[in-house]
C-alpha cells in the first residue's frame, strides 16, 4: 500500500516506462516481443544516406488513443507521470 501511494513518483523518477497498450487486459503481454504475440503491421525499411529508416502508415498517437490501455483509470498515472515511455500497441512500438 505504501508503494501505491507513491506511484506518481515511481513513474516520474523512472528512466523509461514500458507501456503494454497492445491488449485488452492487464495480462496481454507485449506484441512483437515473442512469437506468441506477433505485431501485425509491416514496415518498409531501407537505408538513406547511411541511416536505417522505417516507415509506418499508422499514427502512433491515434493507436494509443484508441487502445484499451488509454480507457483505464489505473493507467492514468502511468500516462501523465512518465517522462519517457516505450509503448507497445498491437501495430507499433514507439518511444
pLDDT in tens, 45-71: 889 899 988 777 677 788 888 888 888
Inside any domain, residue 90: yes
Answer whether residue 40 shows pLDDT above 70.
no
Inside any domain, residue 33: no
What is the extent of the structural domain holding 66? Answer: 4-25+44-94
Inside any domain, residue 38: no
Q: Of 12-26, 27-41, 66-80, where does mean pLDDT reach its minimum?
A: 27-41
Inside any domain, residue 83: yes
No. of H helices and E strands in the chain?
A: 3, 5
Q: Which residue has the cell 516520474?
A: 12
Counting the structural domains of the chain, the total is 1
Inside any domain, residue 18: yes
The alpha carbon dihedral of 95, 30, 72, 24 has a sign of positive
Read off the pLDDT band of 34 (50, 70, 90): low
Calculate ∠ Cα 39-11-67, nearest 5°.
35
Inside any domain, residue 53: yes
Amino acid at each position: 500500500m505504501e508503494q501505491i501511494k507513491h506511484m506518481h513518483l515511481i513513474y516520474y523518477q523512472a528512466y523509461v516506462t514500458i507501456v503494454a497498450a497492445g491488449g485488452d487486459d492487464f495480462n496481454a503481454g507485449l506484441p512483437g516481443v515473442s512469437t506468441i504475440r506477433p505485431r501485425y503491421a509491416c514496415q518498409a525499411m531501407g537505408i538513406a544516406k547511411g541511416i536505417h529508416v522505417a516507415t509506418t502508415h499508422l499514427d502512433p498517437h491515434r493507436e494509443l488513443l484508441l487502445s484499451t490501455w488509454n480507457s483505464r483509470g489505473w493507467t492514468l498515472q502511468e500516462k501523465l507521470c512518465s517522462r519517457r515511455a516505450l509503448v507497445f500497441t498491437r501495430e507499433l512500438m514507439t518511444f
